[in-house]
Structures are given as structure tokens and as C-alpha cells.
Amino acid sequence: MKHPIQILERYWNFTSFKPLQEDIINAVLEDEDTFALLPTGGGKSMCFQIPALAKEGICIVVSPLIALMKNQVNTLTEKGIKAMALTNEYKYNEIDTMLDNCIYGNYKFLYLSPERLQQDIVQNRIQQMNVNLIAVDEAHCISQWGNDFRPAYKNIILLRKLLPTVNVIALTASATPKVVEDIVAELDFINPKIFKQSFKREHLAYMVFEEDDKYFRMKQILKKNPNSSIIYVRSRKNTFEISNYLEQKGFTSTFYHGGLSNSEKEKHFSQWLNDQKQVMVATNAFGMGIDKADVKTVIHINLPESMESYFQEAGRAGRNNKKAYAVILKNKGDEQHVKNQFLSVLPTVDFIKQVYRKLCNYFQISYGEGEFTTHEFNLNTFCKTYSLNTMHTYNALKALDRTSVITLSQQFYNRSSIKVLVTSNKLFEYLENQEETNTIVKTILRTYGGIFDQDVKVNINLIADKASTNEDKVIQTLLKLQKDEVISLKLTKTDSQIVFLQPREDDKTINRIAKTIEQQNNLKNISHCSGLFGIWFFCRYAVQIPPNKKCSTRNRRGDIRYS
């Protein structure tokens, strides 16, 4: 067994652990069931990755978020560590091969969603693996008293039955005492080691500005602190508008939201990460996998929806343990706006039934069919087709996602159908002396059959990955081929992808989850009311800075004084 500090130095280039990390890792290595409640930036992933690397075998990581799984797999792969994620994009034969690789291919991490545990092939292959640890990420999702409760998380107990001698670590950044108790019970922990780290950040000052002109104060803050910053907003539209406004005012800025393509996300994130842009304007989709220690300021243009989300987002400032600022800009209308945005659009069971039936009809899914089928989806088009309120519908789809009826992946997809219009000989004559075009076309030919005979749907992102290029280059190449009459091309964009996890049974499908939805709606009402009270109380407890005042020294509470 390798020593944890050696692994830390080799793969992360650190020479010491953060508070509690070493204690948690040692508990896991001693085969104890372990619970880790660490704030954002506390280094939760290392608490299972390092002990898994220290021992022979593979670690199974259960996570609810596809983007988070992919991000961690990419990070591990870049370090030379073999890891994979069983996301919904893979077909049965691909999953079969991937699971074989986990058994025979010296992989160290297998990431999967709780829904995947329902599949017999996954259960059978897990029993054949040399599993050294089970890690349950975002463990609060297992508790019915948590805001992000996902019934599929109840399936995790299957792993304890399949692998009765393997210990479990549960990790979260958000859990009340009741949720902690529920997690421990649901995961069948016996005499667990529980570690809780204080959320207090000595170097992070929390401030609240009461402002009629938020943009003016935002400019003042960014000008005074010309280091890396994040501005959190509520809508995708605002990310672009505020970023564009800052650029016009002389700041370097970019933006990020869930609807950007993968290449756009990577480009914007890289610009900010490498300090080509000072400011990242983002929705709450920006958060997972952020590892930038020198963020000086996090600004919330709107009131956060809850204290938990606020402390997670604010906690991305000052991870280098240098002085940093978390700022809320508020005015009198913000509290009502939060209530209207979150509470007034909670979907009822009847509305979810309506959306589910229309969704099945939209994709022409017959009764009793549709399980594990994947569909490209544009929310605005769907809502216009059936005259549905966009926000209500989106929340209904999120409810269906949480309850494992569907999986909703939010990002732009370029979907095309292609047919080659020339003979194979003519095609290869055309490709002579066009190296990059040649590579992309050969990738398409080797990935999709029948492309000379009929229109074939292709995945732009997959082609880009296999050809070691980016999506934009693939699209440019296809448009040129179309212009030269080599192919016929139908290029479409969607903003989401939906996978049906259950066969269509209309009301029967929703009736099975109705009690959960009603309970979650009640909990969200209570949570948002208490969350608003928490934010309200926080905004009055934290230092209040009236208009035209400047920040100076700290007071005895550790807040910032103004002068």
C-alpha cells in the first residue's frame, strides 16, 4: 500500500493535507464506514480518491450529476489515472465492453449514476470486480429531508448487498443534522466515523450592499480588486448581457451557463482560469470542478435561493487563504423576486402528468415502450408546440429527472444527418491533399455505416473527440463538403438531451412518484421560506454598506468596516 502523502505529492503536487483530509483518509484506509461533511473547497474528492489509489482494486463512485462525473474523470485521466463514467450516452454493447475493462483493464475509478445500479448487467459485473471502496458523492441526495432528494439514491444499498465486505464513504457539502442521521441510516453504516469541518473562513469577508444601481457598485468593486472574480446571476441571458457590459466598460470578461456547447464552455473557462479574463459571469451551472485558488471576489447580483447554495458559491473565493470578498448586491424588490422565481413555479403532480404525456407524444413513444431511448430536445420549441409556460415546464422536467423517470442533460448539441452524394472513389480523390478534412471524413466513415445510401444521424461531439479536433472545426468541414456538393447535410441544434429511464405508462408512471413530488414541494416551500429568512438575517448580520461608502478595516466580528 502506498502512503497517502506520497500519492498527494505525485498526483496533486501538494506536500500537506487540508484540515480533516488526512483523518478522513486514514479512517477509510482502516476500512471504516466514513461520513465527511466538508465545505466547498474542502477537498472532498481527495478523501476517496487517495485511499482508492493507495489500495489494490477499483473504487465505485456514485454521483447524481453527469457533468460532475465527466469533470472528475477528465481530471483523473489528465493525471494518468484510469477512470471512466457510465453515463446515459452509451449503448448496451458499449457498457458491456466498459464493464469488462473495469474487471480486466486496471481501472481505478468507475463513476456511475444511481439509476445505473438498477441494470442487471451492472450489478453482475460489479460482483466480479476487485472493489476497494464505495464512494457516495453528493450524499445528501439520499435523504428525503434534503432539497435534492433523488429516490434512485435508495438503490445504493444494493452495493452493500453485492459487496458486503467493502466499506463506504459518504461525502457532501450540505447536510443538516437530520439529513446526516438519514444518510447514516440509509447507507447502513455501523459505528461510522463522522467528520464535520467548520464552514468558517478566516480570510473571507462577507458584505452586503444595499444598491439601487447594482452595476455601478459592481464596477467599483471590480476596479478596486482587479483580480480574478466571479459574478453569479440567475439567467443565461444575464450572463451574456453583464459580461458584454463589463467589456464595454474596460474590464476583461467572459460568461458561462449550462446551455453553452462543450467547446464554448472549455474556451470561456480556459480564458478565465488562465487570467486572460478577469471576470466570469455565470449561472449556478458554474461551480463543479473549479480549482482556481486566487479568486479575489465573488459577487451575487441577485439574492441567493438558499444559504447552502450561497456558502458553496461564495466559498469559491480565497482558497489560497489570502484576503477575499463575498458580496451580495440587493435592493428592496429582491426578496419578492426570489419568492416568485422559485415558489410560484413549483409544478403540481397534475401538471407533471400533463408535461410527461406531451413529452411522450412529442417523441412518438408508444405505451409500454421508450425505456433507455435518447432524444435531442429544445425546451423553447417544445413549450411553443403545446403552449406551455417555459419555467413551469422546466421545473416539471427537473422533477421527472430527480425521480428517475427521465434524465435531462442541459447543454447545446449539434445534431446532423449526413449522406455522401459521390462515389467512394470520387470522395477519396476530393480528399487528396486535405489532411484535416481527410481525418474528419474518415472518422465519420468508420463510425457510421450506410452513409453512402441514406441520411444517417451523426454526433458532432463524438466525431470531434475521435478526430482529435473541436466541434466548430467539424461543423466548418461539413459545411464546406456541403458547399462542394460532396454531402447532403442537415445541421440542427438542441439545448438539451432527454433519456427515458422507464417505459411509457402515462399516469401510472407519475402516480408512483406523486407522493415524493408533493413531499418535495412542501419541503421546498419550507426550505425557501427558511432560506429566505436565513439570507434576510445574514444580510442584516453581515456588514451593511450604504451607497457611496468605502470598505476599510475589520471590526471585532471579523467583518469589514466602512468609512
In angstroms, the CA 231 to CA 265 distance is 16
CB 406 within 8 A of CB 501: yes
DSSP conformation class of 116: G
> Is residue 289 very low, low, confident or very high in pLDDT (cuts 50, 70, 90)?
low
85 Cβ contact partners less than 8 Å away, ≥ 6 residues apart: 66, 69, 70, 72, 73, 110, 111, 112
Amino acid at 148: D
Can you give the pLDDT at residue 551? 45
Lowest mean pLDDT among 29-33, 265-269, 308-312, 370-374: 308-312
CB 113 within 8 A of CB 41: no
Residue 193 exposure: Cα atoms within 13 Å on the Cβ side: 17
- Nearest by Cα to 305 from 341, 345, 333: 341
pLDDT digits (tens, 9 = 90+) for 8-26: 999 999 899 988 999 999 9
Task: Say what angle helices 379-386 and 390-402 make with each other, to 10 degrees.
Answer: 120
- Nearest by Cα to 72 from 289, 284, 226: 289
In SS3 terms, 234-245 reads as CCHHHHHHHHHH
171 Cβ contact partners less than 8 Å away, ≥ 6 residues apart: 36, 38, 44, 45, 47, 48, 135, 136, 137, 138, 139
In this predicted model, which residue has the larger pLDDT, 119 or 218?
218
Fold of 204-331+535-562: Rossmann fold (3.40.50)
Q: Please state, for a pLDDT cut of 90, what percent of the chain lies above it.
A: 48
Can you give the pLDDT at residue 350? 95
In this predicted model, which residue has the larger pLDDT, 547 or 513?
513
In angstroms, the CA 260 to CA 255 distance is 10
Three cell numbers, residue 362 = 412529442
Write the DSSP assignment of 347-391 as a string of letters.
PPHHHHHHHHHHHHHHTTPPTT--TT-EEEE-HHHHHHHHT--HH
CB 253 within 8 A of CB 246: yes
Angle formed at CA 341 by CA 381 and CA 499, multiple of 5 degrees: 40
CB 295 within 8 A of CB 318: yes
Q: Which residues of 212-232 are buried (b: 16+ CB within 10 A; e: fewer)?
A: eebeebbbebbeebeebbbbb
DSSP conformation class of 257: -
CB 543 within 8 A of CB 562: yes
CB 310 within 8 A of CB 199: no
Q: Averaged over 549-554, what is the pLDDT?
A: 44
Q: Averaged over 397-419, what is the pLDDT?
A: 83
Q: Which residues of 361-388 are buried (b: 16+ CB within 10 A; e: fewer)?
A: ebbebeeeebeeeebbbbbeebbeeeeb
pLDDT digits (tens, 9 = 90+) for 488-542: 998 877 778 898 999 999 999 999 999 988 888 877 766 555 555 555 556 555 5
In SS3 terms, 129-196 reads as CCEEEEEECCHHHHCCCCCCCCHHHHHHHHHHHHCCCCCEEEEECCCCHHHHHHHHHHCCCCCCEEEE
> Is residue 338 very low, low, confident or very high in pLDDT (cuts 50, 70, 90)?
low
> Is residue 102 very low, low, confident or very high in pLDDT (cuts 50, 70, 90)?
very high
In angstroms, the CA 474 to CA 454 distance is 20
Tell whether domain 413-497 is in CATH 3.30.420.
no
- Nearest by Cα to 224 from 299, 153, 127: 299
What is the distance, to the nearest Å, from the Cα of residue 436 to the centroid of all Cα atoms in its chain? 33
Can you give the pLDDT at residue 177? 87
499 Cβ contact partners less than 8 Å away, ≥ 6 residues apart: 88, 372, 373, 374, 375, 406, 407, 409
Can you give the pLDDT at residue 260? 81
Supply the mean pLDDT for the chain. Answer: 85
Q: Do domains 4-196 and 413-497 have the same CATH topology?
A: no
Q: Which residues of 505-544 are buried (b: 16+ CB within 10 A; e: fewer)?
A: eeeebbeebbebbeebbeebeebbeebbebbeebbeebbe
Q: Please state, for a pLDDT cut of 70, what percent of the chain lies above it.
A: 88
Highest mean pLDDT among 48-52, 522-526, 550-554, 555-559: 48-52
Highest mean pLDDT among 34-43, 245-254, 475-484: 245-254
Fold of 4-196: Rossmann fold (3.40.50)
In this predicted model, which residue has the larger pLDDT, 322 or 229?
229
**Residue 16: φ, ψ to 5°:** -150, 155
Amino acid at 202: E
- Nearest by Cα to 163 from 58, 36, 274: 58
> Is residue 413 very low, low, confident or very high in pLDDT (cuts 50, 70, 90)?
low
In this predicted model, which residue has the larger pLDDT, 261 or 267?
267
pLDDT digits (tens, 9 = 90+) for 139-173: 988 987 766 778 888 889 999 999 999 999 999 98
Three cell numbers, residue 350 = 397534475
Can you give the pLDDT at residue 418? 93
- Nearest by Cα to 69 from 160, 158, 141, 138: 138
E strand or H helix at 412:
strand 406-420
Can you give the pLDDT at residue 562? 33
Residue 433: is its pLDDT beyond 90? no
Q: Averaged over 342-348, what is the pLDDT?
A: 75
Find the radius of gyration of the CA atoms of the chain: 25
Q: For the chain, what is the total number of helices (H) and then of strands (E)?
A: 22, 20
CB atoms within 10 A of CB 455: 14
Lowest mean pLDDT among 123-127, 215-219, 287-291, 464-468: 287-291
In angstroms, the CA 113 to CA 121 distance is 14
Q: Which residues of 276-286 are buried (b: 16+ CB within 10 A; e: fewer)?
A: ebbbbbbbebb
Q: Which residues of 29-49 are buried (b: 16+ CB within 10 A; e: fewer)?
A: beebbbbbbbbbbbbbbbbbb
Q: What residues does 256 pair with on adjacent strands?
A: 282
Identify the three-state secondary structure at position 269.
Answer: helix
Domain ranges (residues) in the chain = 4-196, 204-331+535-562, 341-405+501-512, 413-497
In angstroms, the CA 187 to CA 157 distance is 6
Can you give the pLDDT at residue 411? 66
Can you give the pLDDT at residue 539? 59
Can you give the pLDDT at residue 49? 97
Identify the three-state secondary structure at position 226.
Answer: coil
Lowest mean pLDDT among 211-225, 432-446, 533-547: 533-547
E strand or H helix at 308:
helix 307-314
